[in-house]
Amino acid sequence: MQSSRSTPSTASPTSVALPPLPHLVLIPVFPGVNALDVTGPAEVFALAGHLLAGEAGPGAEAFRRPGAGYEVRMVAARRGRVETFSGIPLHVTEVFGERPDRPDTLLVPGRMDVGPEGPVPRVDEAVVAWLRATGPEAGRVASVCAGAHVTAAAGLLDGHRATTHWATAGQLAAAHRAVAVEADAIFVRSGRMWTSAGLTASMDLALALVAEDHGDDLAREIARIMVMYLQRPGGQSQFSVPLAHRAGTREDVRALRRWIGENVGADLSVPVLAGRLAMSERHFGRVFQGETGTTPGSFVEETRLETARRLLERTDRLVEDVAPACGFGSVETLYRVFRDRLGTTPTEYRRRFRLG
């Protein structure tokens, strides 16, 4: 994407034209922002700039395009020190509303606060107000992790497909019905709107933006130098099932959850599980859902599905063997669960996500 800013010049018609201005990336930051949401993409853009300038070692000359680099700037509600979630401070020199240049890319970082009820995205109102004013004029808008909630609050994602961290995808969908949330994607492009999953996916997103601007070869070289995948071999659904549910406070339920994960091929019916905790089935169902936020049956199915996915990703076992090993009564049941929960088949899942 060529910079949308014009190069200032007072040259006569016979003068040599000045090189184009670099692509301007503005990153709005706020107290508590995740540092990696800011610094990860900035590193990708910086390396792209060195390659485009022919300054990144042997072979870099092949990517040389004078003036085609990136200018990354942070902007905040006030100048000075901004503390990040990790405690590493950022130094900001630009304030919302003071920069006249039209940004080529707005990159919106995020932050999640984790409490007893799970993660909650932080929506900074000063950033939201700035995005409402600046977002429509930007060449494109990209958000990282929980930054999608900020972008959505500014109304910029209405009518678009989007993703965010898997733990808050449901909250994004519930709060912003005009946004089509794709919970398992690493990043999503919808028109000029780009969104990405949690934290480290910010660098996947930045690589995709560089690829759009300057081609796959440059993005591939950056990925090689930074020891990254150009595109990850899976979606966000690779997270562990236990992480997707509340930790709870009862040690007996926690122990049962661990036991379920270690015995997916066993009889995990509600009567059996309730008996392990010496509870009636009805009381057990209430306790388990109160501790985890889901029913025993759903938790068991998710755990079995996770085990099946892991076997399909990492082994050569036939689907006919995977189904009973994971506690599914038949191959047909395994296929049904994959279709209902992942929107694909075991065979297609293995083809897409096989590791090695």
Structure letter (DSSP) for residue 159:
T
User: 185, 158 in Cβ contact below 8 A?
Assistant: no
User: 207, 223 in Cβ contact below 8 A?
Assistant: yes
The CATH class for the domain spanning 23-237 reads: alpha beta
CA-based nearest residue to 252, from 269, 274, 271: 274
What average pLDDT score do residues 315-333 get? 93
Range of 56-70, 124-138, 164-178, 302-316 with top mean pLDDT = 124-138
Specify whether the backbone of 298 is left (phi greater than 0), alpha (psi in -120 to 50) or beta.
alpha
CATH hierarchy code of domain 241-353: 1.10.10.60
Map out the domains of the chain as residue ranges: 23-237, 241-353
What average pLDDT score do residues 148-167 get? 94
Between 182 and 247, where is the model more confident?
182
What average pLDDT score do residues 13-24 get? 66
- Across the chain, mean pLDDT equals 85
pLDDT tens, residue by residue, 272-300? 999 999 999 999 999 999 988 889 999 99
pLDDT tens, residue by residue, 199-209? 678 888 898 89
pLDDT band at 38 (very low <50, low <70, confident <90, very high): very high
Rounded-to-integer distance, Cα 283 and Cα 10, Å: 80
pLDDT at 220 over 90: no
